[in-house]
Amino acid sequence: MRAKTLLHFNFKGGVGKTTLSVMNTYLLGANKSKVLLIDLDPQANATEIMKSTFNKEIEPAVSLYNGLLNLDLSKSVVTLTDNISIIPADWELSLWPGKAEKIKSHDRMLILSELIKSFKEQFDYIIIDVPPTLSIFTNNAILASDYISLVLQTQKQAYTSVLKTAQYMFQLKSDYQASFNVAGVILYLVKKDAKVDKEITQAAIDSFGDAVFSNRIWQQERVKLFSNEGIKNEDHWDKRAIGMYDMVLKEQLKRIGEMENG
């Protein structure tokens, strides 16, 4: 089976993209799928969460920055468990856009798409985490993806941003004749019975219809701990929080399966 490449995305920062990417990696690996997480964000938040989760230093033989320059990411992969691997990021990655300017504009947006082809037979899933900016990082991630899930924290700015994000993605898809599909819209850190959250949820349903996931990530303190201290699965509250992500992931995979089967 060729790996499916997944991306969680919204131009707005702090909406849960990285935590979703890391949780999906963790859950898919726990379910015996072979997963590669690519941290394409120079802030390296996904890398830090994985370090904390698995209590390991993550040092690739060749950094992601140098791997991109060499057009070879094979030595940038670090194995964390039998099923989970990561290509970690660090601040050096922030230098890449300047170096990539030497490459023709059209081609520089397809670098990642080309480089991950060699991983497609090794993994079941490739998950990409990106910074919340319009940049060579996000363009490469979008064009390298098979399925993109828009992440919408239930606040006005995030809703406005997700509309702009969707519009931009489909323009990019047209410009590059890309083949990615949108798996849907994930509502994130939803507060139960909060007026604004209900209004944004309804606005999302009005705009995106059935594309809005029926499962969502509710506001919980444990979710914040996962993003700050790594994923733990030790007590009732850990399991309850992980259960939310597991339901969202199951729906995500179901939606992907339905798209693949027509």
Among 9-23, 112-126, 140-154, 156-170, the least confident range: 9-23
DSSP letters along 163-193, please?
A: HHHHHHHHHHHHHHT---EEEEEEEEEEPTT
Write the pLDDT tens digit of every residue in 183-209.
999 999 888 888 988 999 999 999 999
Domain ranges of the chain: 4-260
β-strands 181-190, 217-218 pairing: parallel
Residues 6+ apart with CB under 8 A from 22: 37, 46, 49, 50, 53, 129, 226, 231
pTM of the predicted model as reported, rounded to 2 decimal places: 0.96
Write the pLDDT tens digit of every residue in 58-84.
999 999 999 999 999 999 999 999 999
User: What pLDDT is stored for residue 220 in this prediction?
Assistant: 87
Name the CATH superfamily housing domain 4-260: P-loop containing nucleotide triphosphate hydrolases (3.40.50.300)
| Mean pLDDT value across the chain | 93
